[in-house]
Amino acid sequence: MASNTETAGHKQEYHIGYKEDTLKAFELRNVKTCLGYLLPTLEALPPTFSLLDVGCGPGSITFDLARRFPQAKIIGVDIGTEVIARNNANIPTAAPGTGIEFRAGNILEPESFLSAEEISSGFDVVHEHTTLICIPNNIEVLRQMKRLAKQDGGIVACREGDTHSQVLWPPCPESAELQERIYKLNGLDTQTGRKLVSKALEVGFPRDQITASASVLSNITRPERELYGGSMLTMLADENSQYRKAAAQFGYTEEQVEVLRKNMERFIASDDAWRLLICTEVICKLDEVGR
């Protein structure tokens, strides 16, 4: 899940939204499914390390990190005030006795959610998962993440999707077309994943300080398909959702919207259905050379 933000004085709304079905779909994400590339690095750190999770959404990854590393200081930030309130209310049951907290704020304005001392001292790890792809001009977000990492040994870690790599079976070309048009409407780069190393270089990380890898985000089992497809059906049913508003703006008829619904219903029901998305990953280390 990703946070939305403001660029050039314009508030950019999160195009998927924060409805309960959507949050439940994102809760499929945890350390095992999404942070395999980063887990060995975290395990090698002192147990009291600090981590900032940028665009934490419903906090499923953040909570899992806190349970695995209960002595660590872990802060999840998202611009969605309601989802942050939901996460904080869930701490006593989801991660009791850990060093986790959630704050509402804009990553491009760190003073909106961090103290001056936290900003100056920096974090051992600044992490994001599929947040950059949801923010226009996301190079500025990555640059800010670099600033918030400790300048002597800090780590910036990213895992990003690339929607051009997405595979759905049975095929849903109409759904893929609308998704692409919505991303473009919001000024988002659907090829952020394949550009991740390039972006890390652009913000100043030397290539020998960047460890790159890739993995697949998937929805294969019936429960996984129900959560993903169900969240899409909820957005299609809500005329006030960003998806329905965009479809109306593009001139979609009710018959075309019905095709989108049937696509998701077939995706959920088909025993041979799956959704695959290539995700790229980078671990960028800061030292005297990489400042």
CB 129 within 8 A of CB 138: no
β-strand pairing of 274-285 with 210-219: antiparallel
Note the pLDDT of residue 28: 74
Note the pLDDT of residue 5: 40
Note the pLDDT of residue 182: 92
Bridge partners (DSSP) listed for residue 11: 6
> What number does CATH give the domain 5-285?
3.40.50.150
Note the pLDDT of residue 27: 64
Instruction: Dig out the tokens for 134 from the structure.
Output: 């949801």
Note the pLDDT of residue 102: 98
Note the pLDDT of residue 29: 86
Nearest CA to 268 out of 236, 230, 231 is that of 230
CA dihedral for 211, 125, 40, 96, sign (positive or negative): negative
SS3 category, 225: helix
CA dihedral for 220, 225, 227, 233, sign (positive or negative): positive
At 160, which amino acid appears? Answer: E
* DSSP assignment letter at 160: E
Within 8 A by CB and 6+ apart from 225, the residues are 219, 267, 268, 273, 274, 275
Note the pLDDT of residue 24: 54
Which ranges of the chain have pLDDT less than 50? Answer: 1-19, 21-22, 25, 289-291
Domain residue ranges in the chain:
5-285
Return the H-helix or E-strand segment holding 77: strand 73-78
Return the H-helix or E-strand segment holding 267: helix 254-269
Instruction: Dig out the tokens for 148 from the structure.
Output: 């918030």
As a whole number of angstroms, the distance between CA 192 and CA 203 comes to 15
pTM of the predicted model as reported, rounded to 2 decimal places: 0.88
**Class of residue 173 by CB neighbours under 10 A (exposed 0-12, middle 13-18, buried 19+):** exposed
Bridge partners (DSSP) listed for residue 128: 54, 158
